């Protein structure tokens, strides 16, 4: 296992769409273990492979709900979502120091593959639904800040601008 570096906004790596995993081999198992270690080291509750520069459709989740303390899903996709939206504060390991209110469906059903090759279908609400949606967004190059209301976006805009300037100075 290895602790990986979490890519930070506005790194363009975070905007790239991840590719499907076609073979679940030892390499994929190693990536999953690295993701859990990295997420734990960052005190996170979810992480997507693109956040560590791996363009594969893999997410890991660790929340205090029975069965979801060490969840890894390969090629996850949302198959249904409720019409009812819930607004709650979100943050992201790739956008450190910024929290903002995001509206998301209250309930989702997610299908994916386990690291052992089994089929998983999870119907979730509350925090688990939010984390699953957030991490699946990462697989599609979408960040939580893309889902903000205009009011929330304006509230954090100067912080995002500062992050952009710092990143630009680093890559020069």
Pairing of strands 95-105, 107-113: unpaired
* DSSP notation for 67-79: T-SSEEEEEEEEE
Q: Which residues are catalytic?
A: 135
Whether the CB-CB separation of 19 and 107 falls below 8 Å is answered with: no
Distance between CA 54 and CA 7 in Å, rounded? 10
Q: Per-residue pLDDT for 78 more than 90? A: yes
Q: Calculate mean pLDDT across residues 89-104.
A: 97
Decide which of 158 and 46 is more confident.
46
Q: Which two tokens stand for residue 105?
A: 């469906």
**What is this structure's pTM?**
0.95
Domains and CATH numbers, the chain: 12-171 (3.90.45.10)
Q: Per-residue pLDDT for 87 more than 90? A: yes
Exposed/middle/buried for residue 87 (C-beta within 10 Å: 0-12, 13-18, 19+): exposed
Q: Per-residue pLDDT for 1 more than 80? A: no
């Amino acid at each position: 296992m290895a602790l990986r570096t979490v890519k930070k906004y506005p790194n363009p790596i975070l905007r790239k769409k991840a590719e499907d995993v076609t073979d679940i081999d030892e390499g994929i198992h190693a990536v999953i273990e690295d993701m859990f270690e990295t997420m734990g080291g960052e005190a996170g509750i979810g992480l997507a492979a693109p956040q560590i520069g791996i363009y594969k459709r893999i997410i890991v989740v660790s929340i205090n709900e029975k069965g979801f303390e060490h969840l890894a899903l390969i090629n996850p996709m949302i198959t249904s979502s409720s019409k009812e939206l819930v607004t709650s504060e979100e943050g992201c390991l790739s956008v450190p120091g910024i929290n903002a209110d995001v509206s998301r469906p209250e309930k989702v059903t997610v299908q994916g593959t386990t690291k052992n090759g089994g089929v998983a279908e999870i119907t979730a609400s509350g925090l688990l639904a939010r984390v699953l949606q957030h991490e699946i967004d990462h697989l599609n190059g979408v960040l939580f800040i893309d889902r903000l209301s205009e009011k929330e976006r304006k509230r954090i805009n100067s912080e995002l601008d500062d992050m952009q300037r710092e990143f630009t100075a680093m890559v020069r």
